[in-house]
Chains A and B, each alone.
Chain A
């Protein structure tokens, strides 16, 4: 066999010509499949940030929440709270669970509450009285802090003074 006909140094015909490298090829295809699945899941809103709309009703009022069910750290997002009063609400108060505030940056709340306070980690936002048949919307503009990750309770409750009118269980999953 001439020098050129021999395989070059460090090249073995079994390993570098005939072997199927099935494990390597399998791993590559598996990884590619995982990446494809992740992209499909993202299109299906698993990683955010499409809004979900949740509604709670009672005789006194309806509360409608529109907010993302999933987020990624660093994202800007909006929470929208709509109150449809059926009876007169003297002290309409939104009670937002700690997950709305903890490790989140609040850019703005519109309109501003007339009074706000904190109790057990939840923040209470009290607004002007609302007559029957009136609708009132509060916008909360926020951003997840870059290091925030994990599931956060973002429940919201509508109260008239101390009386609970409607409540919505909501949580957001923040992906790192």
Chain B
């Protein structure tokens, strides 16, 4: 029983941590962010399974994580109100070539990072960006001017 409770608590903790960390860190995955996520995973594993090295323990822990992941996904799909809690909303960060400052500040997003995302989509200048939207996944969608 204990391992299921620990896994559930760890799931909630990881979920909250990732919501606090912000989507930028999740999407960019710079080397430091990648290492940070691996370290977090390792620390979580120790807290969940502790000295339990059994296959049963593995099944219980992974099973609990899977069930909770599917449950949150279903809640998010089924209830719009839950979606607002479980997922970050998309945010417009550039409109008609002009940056939306308060949204960029909220996501700790610099103009250079938006320009980088634009370049990755073959848009050389932010003035040529009709819409730039930071998605719930943390990726920046660029829609060029027509």
Contacts and interface: CB of A to CB of B under 8 A. Distances in A.
Given A7-B131, A24-B88, A2 B19 contact: no
What size tier do the contact residues of chain A reach? 20 to 34
A7, A17, A74, A146: which has the most chain B beta carbons within 10 Å?
A17
A21 B131 contact: no
Interface in B55-93: 84, 88-92
B119 interface: no
A25 interface: yes
A3 interface: yes
Given A31-B16, A31-B20, A32-B20, A17 B95 contact: yes
A17 B92 contact: yes
B88 A74 contact: no
Nearest to B131: A8
Contacts of B144: 4
A44 interface: no
B100 interface: yes
Contacts of A15: 89
Given A13-B92, A17-B95, A4 B19 contact: no
A7 B141 CA distance: 13
B103 interface: yes
B89 A74 contact: no
A76 to B, nearest CB: 12
Contacts of B100: 17
A11 interface: yes
Interface residues of B, number: 29
Contacts of A176: 6
A74 B20 contact: no
Interface in A1-21: 2-5, 7-8, 10-11, 13, 15-17, 19-21
B106 A31 contact: no
A8 B106 contact: no
Nearest to B90: A16
A73 B50 contact: yes
Contacts of A5: 96, 130, 146
A77 to B, nearest CB: 16
B20 A8 contact: no
B51 A16 contact: no
Contacts of A28: 19-20, 22
B121 to A, nearest CB: 14
Given A21-B91, A28-B20, A31-B19, 18 more contacts: A2-B146, A3-B146, A4-B146, A5-B96, A8-B133, A10-B90, A11-B90, A15-B89, A16-B92, A17-B91, A19-B89, A24-B84, A24-B88, A24-B89, A74-B50, A74-B51, A146-B51, A147-B2
25 contacts: A4-B130, A4-B131, A4-B145, A4-B146, A5-B130, A8-B133, A8-B143, A10-B90, A11-B90, A16-B91, A17-B100, A17-B103, A20-B102, A21-B89, A21-B106, A24-B84, A24-B88, A27-B19, A28-B20, A28-B22, A31-B19, A31-B20, A74-B50, A146-B50, A147-B2
